[in-house]
Structure 1
Amino acid sequence: MGAGFVAFLLGATGPALLVYQAATNAGYPAAVIDSWFFAIYVGGGLLSLLLAFLYREPICGAFPIAGSALLVTVLGGYTVGEAVGAFLVSGVLVAALGFSGVFQSILERIPNEVVMGALAGILLPFGIEVFAILPGEPVLVGAMMVAFLLFFRFARAVPPALAALVVGMVLSAAGGGFDLGDVSVALARPVLVAPAFDLGAMFSIAVPLTLLALATQNAPGIGILRAGGYRPPVNAITIFSGLGSVLTAPLVGNGLNIAAPMTAVCAAPEAHPDPARRYVATVVQGLLFIAFGLAGATAVSLIRALPPALIVCVAGLALLPVILQSLRLSVGQPRHALAAGAALLIGASNVTLLGIGSAFWAIVAGVLLARFLGQDSSEAK
């Protein structure tokens, strides 16, 4: 139960703030944001429960964290309907890959170093922004960074980003920057949004969202389970992720997948000495996700009351481990280093070409460059 609670905290702190940032940057109304939270948390929780009871393995369902970070930068150029259309197409693509059984073969054709490079480029601005806002909010941001480092060093059982969030909320409340009077207690009221299909949104949102969900969440999550002695059903996981994404897309859900970091917590020996009992941690995580989603309106009002600097800082700190891992698995590898570096720089550039965002071009350029240079090129070594 403790492992399930920690896994829930991993998905309900930094990732929740990313979704809120993406929605507010795009100018979406409160009702849409509430529905978005309901879709991804209730949907992710139900996915956890489904996989846990069907396969008795600690497979944690969630939403694409890297994809949510991508949306922070690209969503502003599209209407809610166009975003829903892209989310829907992404879900169809994921489900189709699961039904066809070609998920693994497609990933093998796209160098992992390139995908990780594109991911690092997408996430890098979030880490940079933490230091960019430090001069303007030295006490708040500095204290949060210190709390993050202390818990990272001495109390890893507690997510360091959560410690930073708590410290930031306390300081903000003491300074009058966080008023609990603005927080409302209410259940989520999901809304249905008709999809609209825009070609630019397909390439800027749907395609990168699909690749990031499968390559940065499902694939490593499956690897974690296999390393723990489990036999995860790869195609079934992909199919359920895709179908769940299709069902939640009209509620403004940006997709469902299994969450690698949360799965790592629930599948660890610390969760339970008996591997056959560790799926209970996933059940706890799933139930907490559902509860959080049902109270989505309250969660959104709580986030809305937070100072912007606190939101930026927590999001950057929460993504820091992912940024470092992405750098290590991209430009830190001897193979395809140059192609991964190009993907990183293009992904970080936030450039738009032919109405298509940088995440798509980062992956395309990286794949083409990797093929041109060859696996064993001297430049990559």
Structure 2
Amino acid sequence: MQKIIQDFSIPAVFAGFITFLIGISVSAVLVIQAAQILGASAEQITSWFWALGLGIGLSGLILSWKFKYPVATAWSTAGLALIMATGSGYSLYEAIGAFLVCGLLTAILGFMGIFEKVLSYIPQSLTSAMLAGVLLKFGIALFTSMQTDWAFILSLLAVYIISKRLWARYCIVITVIAGLILCPMFMEFHMPIVHWSLAKPVWISPEFTWSAILGLALPLFVINMASQYLPGIAMIKSYGYQPHVKHLIGWTGLTQALLAPFGCYSVNIAAISAAVSLDDQVHPDPSKRYIAGISCGFFYIIMGLFAATLTSLLMSFPKLFIIVLAGIALFGTISHNISIAFQDVADREAALLTFLFCASGVQFFGIGSAFWGLLFGFLVSFILKFKNKT
């Protein structure tokens, strides 16, 4: 506890909050829709948020504290898309059984170290190109939104650039505060009346059927590995940390399995939102950035405990506010990964194709472009290097 107090910093807490905000704001509504498709009641939907908040929050907080680097955890948005697309074919109880099986498979794969061995064969130039490509849309979205909301975006960009020049370490903190002040001036936004109440967990007995295991559990397992763990682990490595892959995958999978009967459909390593907690704007000393991971976990726990209240409060912010905040917060990460991706001349062609493929956003079989782009880039790299050796 004394070390945490010594390493504590306001920018790290803000980075943790932004990581949390990006993680839930994009897909909190999709959690509700996915649960409704499976036939969940209002009380059961609240239980979903309770389980997700506590599972994600506790795993991220404890892993960040244990390993002393930011471990941001999150639910899988791609997984939600899968549930929404196929969920009508299963009962809620069958889906809960599938979530439990998926968590157990993830834990077993993680603790056995299989995923870690696969990662060791992938060049960092390709993983950085993948990350840069996946994140590119967030930077572009900020500028495309200028066509209709240029005044708010230019004002916030001006605040970011000036604060980056004068107080680089606090630039994101200052930008967030400025955004909160400017939001009511440029957009229709009124702070809602908050009624605090604790969420109540609801036990949903799992049912195990082969159709749900093969049609939901296994696809969810593959999608989580491809769209969450692969880029999430690569993100941590790109900032010079050596992630404890076995433990990160194993413990998050086990957490999902334990909380599945309450509606926890996934607990994964965060991919895109994690970048905010890893950047040097959190703290110039990489060994002190873990405070951002702890803070992010804390906010998820609060969300879980006050699920209905906090989710409605955060969802009240205009969508544009989240888009601009995410874009600005990810500037450093996009440039960081582009520089790593293209610094090695031998890998530049494969990295470029990986970057473009991942930036395209295409999906095949419900799996996003991050997985397919990296697979394609790896194939290109192998062919070019094989040709050079002959």
In the TM superposition, what is the alpha-carbon distance from 1:13 to its structure 2 partner? 1.5
Distance in 1 (CA, whole Å) between partners of 2:281 and 2:143 is 32
TM-score (norm 2): 0.72
Deviations 1:60-112 (A, max 9, x none): 443159x66x7799887565989989976775565334322344432121222
Write out aligned runs for 1:1-381 (5 A). Answer: 1=5, 3=8, 5-24=10-29, 27=33, 38-39=50-51, 41-47=53-59, 50-51=62-63, 57-64=67-74, 79=87, 91-92=103-104, 94-158=106-170, 160=172, 162-175=173-186, 177-181=188-192, 183-189=194-200, 196=212, 197-198=215-216, 203-217=222-236, 219=237, 223-224=240-241, 235-248=246-259, 250-256=263-269, 262=277, 287=298, 289-374=300-385, 377=388
The 10-residue stretch of structure 1 (175-184 or 301-310) with the greater mean CA deviation from structure 2: 175-184
Change (3 A) 1:135 1:300: same
Q: Which amino acid aligns with 1:131?
A: F
Distance in 2 (CA, whole Å) between partners of 1:239 and 1:293 is 22
In the TM superposition, what is the alpha-carbon distance from 1:350 to its structure 2 partner? 1.9
Distance in 2 (CA, whole Å) between partners of 1:352 and 1:187 is 39
Give the count of matched residue pairs. Answer: 361
Identity level (%): 27
TM-score (norm 1): 0.74
Q: Which amino acid aligns with 2:151?
A: V
Distance in 2 (CA, whole Å) between partners of 1:89 and 1:296 is 25
SS of the residue corresponding to residue 109 of structure 1 reads coil
Change (3 A) 1:85 1:338: farther
In the TM superposition, what is the alpha-carbon distance from 1:192 to its structure 2 partner? 6.9
Flag structure 2 segments of 5+ consecutive residues without an equivalent: 37-41
Distance in 2 (CA, whole Å) between partners of 1:331 and 1:73 is 33
Deviations 1:2-26 (A, max 9, x none): 6265433213225423432134468
Deviations 1:8-47 (A, max 9, x none): 3213225423432134468557988866664555334423
Distance in 1 (CA, whole Å) between partners of 2:379 and 2:70 is 34
Change (3 A) 1:10 1:155: same
Deviations 1:237-264 (A, max 9, x none): 4432332344456424441479676478
SS of the residue corresponding to residue 13 of structure 1 reads helix
CA RMSD of the aligned region, Å? 4.3
Q: Which amino acid aligns with 1:213?
A: G
Q: Which amino acid aligns with 2:117?
A: S
2:39 aligns to what?
none
Change (3 A) 1:181 1:236: closer
Distance in 2 (CA, whole Å) between partners of 1:181 and 1:303 is 10
Distance in 1 (CA, whole Å) between partners of 2:360 and 2:153 is 25
